[in-house]
Amino acid sequence: MTPLEIGGAALAAALVMILLRIPVGLALGLAAFGGAASILPLSAAISLMTRVPYEFAASWEFAAVPMFLAMGAVITRSRMADGLLLLAERGLRRLPGGLAIATNFAGAAFGAASGSSLATTVALGRMATPQMLRSGYDPGLATATTACAGTLAALIPPSIPLIVYGILAEQSVAKLFFAGILPGLLTALAYALMIFLRVRANPELAPRNEEISREPVGWSVAAFPVIAVTILGGIYGGIFSPGEAGAVGALVAIALAFCQRGFGWRELAAALGDAARQTAAILFVAIGAFMLTRTMALTGLPNALADLVEAWSVSPVLLVLGSALLFVLLGMVLDPFGVMLLSVAVLLPAFERLGFDLIWMGIIIVKFIEIGLVTPPVGLNVFAAKSVAPPEIGLTTIFRGVTWFLAAEAVVMTLLFLFPALTLWLPGLIL
């Protein structure tokens, strides 16, 4: 077999193993080793594949991932987000679907201090879903709102997917962070507008609640701007790198959490345990994909694909649309990190050859990942929302509610494609 055929066979083998329910990281790693062993002598393939996990895990940029996960876990365990949701509810309660809109914006704020979509979804689901259901909200709207609001953490910095993309694409993580701000806020606004219009057209979806909660908001609502300003201000001011920002953010979150009633050393240990498990899961998939990236480089498949795109004179628009279809198909069998890592390994040279800005491309890829988090059949955020919802609410109900949010995502993606400045203006202005 030629190297290109070996590369294609390795990709196909990885997808087949994933369809057979072999863990994603293991499937990618086995396919990578098999491909490398078909090209190199066995000893050389073993040497290459044993170096890759260390090289990836020891990269300085990846150190930010466990730090941001720890920060999000501490915020979740300390229930610092409760006051934020209460404040948003009081300000928006008179709007049609006000509680759902408040949950949406609380998700954006939580994402700005968390970086983890699943953590944001679980936190919002525990706080907001019961409250919306008690107020008579449609179960599909209530659960879909928490699932989709959680995806905002994938884009609004600090974003773990953006960190991993920056490592693989060799792009500035700081620029990616600032590039994600406007698209993230635009997505939150699109969600809010969709909820408003939908409930206004059908008020039975979300009965208006005129009661004002007498529960005190508490000082913890200030924790989110403090953490966000510390992280982004420190990066912008050149005080620390994104990796160091994660450590500083985690320390600030821990200090604020200990001022919260009911948070102690036991809760801190549980939060750090949550972060360790999430880090291990991400690392396992990322290492397998990084190994496959090295194998793809050996086979020359990405460059051959780029040459083919150039020879066929494929327009940039057609390439992006074709890639979007590929993302959707891969999202049906892969978790979000698997989709991103495979796309970077195979498609990035073609995007680069056609002159795409790789910062803009990173935001587009993460947007597709964000959409994949709520798209069946995988839809990890939907499963997370289901795990904290009442048992009588089924996955079908949640996915049906998510359909409206996907329509809002289609509008946002169209705007980002037509106006790249929405993504590139802020990092170009301040970095």
Per-run averaged pLDDT (10 residues), the chain, 431 residues: 84 82 83 89 86 78 80 79 68 78 84 71 80 87 90 82 82 89 93 94 80 59 77 81 83 87 87 86 80 81 70 72 73 65 74 83 86 77 84 88 92 92 86 59
Residue 29 belongs to some domain of the structure = no
Angle value at C-alpha 348, between 347 and 353, nearest 5 degrees: 105
Contacts of 68 (CB under 8 A, 6+ apart): 114, 115, 116, 158, 160, 163, 246, 249, 250
Q: Give yes or no for a contact between 161 and 289, defined as CB atoms under 8 angstroms apart.
A: no
Contacts of 73 (CB under 8 A, 6+ apart): 116, 119, 271, 272, 274, 275, 278
pTM: 0.80
Single-letter code of the amino acid located at 367: K
- Domains in the chain, number: 1
Q: Give yes or no for a contact between 122 and 387, defined as CB atoms under 8 angstroms apart.
A: yes
CA 28, CA 338: separation in Å to the nearest integer?
A: 9
Residue 13 belongs to some domain of the structure = no
Find tokens 């300000």 and name the residue.
Answer: 91
CA 269, CA 284: separation in Å to the nearest integer?
A: 22
Residue 53 belongs to some domain of the structure = no
Q: What is the dihedral of CA 340, 243, 108, 348, to 10 degrees?
A: -20
Tell me what pLDDT residue 288 has: 82
Q: Give yes or no for a contact between 426 and 182, defined as CB atoms under 8 angstroms apart.
A: yes
Q: How far is CA 188 from CA 116, 141, 277, in A?
A: 16, 15, 29
State the burial class of residue 218 (Cβ atoms within 10 Å of its Cβ: 0-12, 13-18, 19+).
Answer: middle
Residue 382 belongs to some domain of the structure = yes
CA 198, CA 152: separation in Å to the nearest integer?
A: 20
CA 52, CA 412: separation in Å to the nearest integer?
A: 37
Tell me what pLDDT residue 183 has: 94
Distance of CA 193 to the CA centre of its chain: 22
Nearest Cα neighbor of 377 from 332, 328, 335 is: 332
Residue 280 belongs to some domain of the structure = yes
Find tokens 């821990």 and name the residue.
Answer: 254
Domain hosting 415: range is 60-430
Handedness of CA 185, 155, 251, 78 (dihedral sign): positive
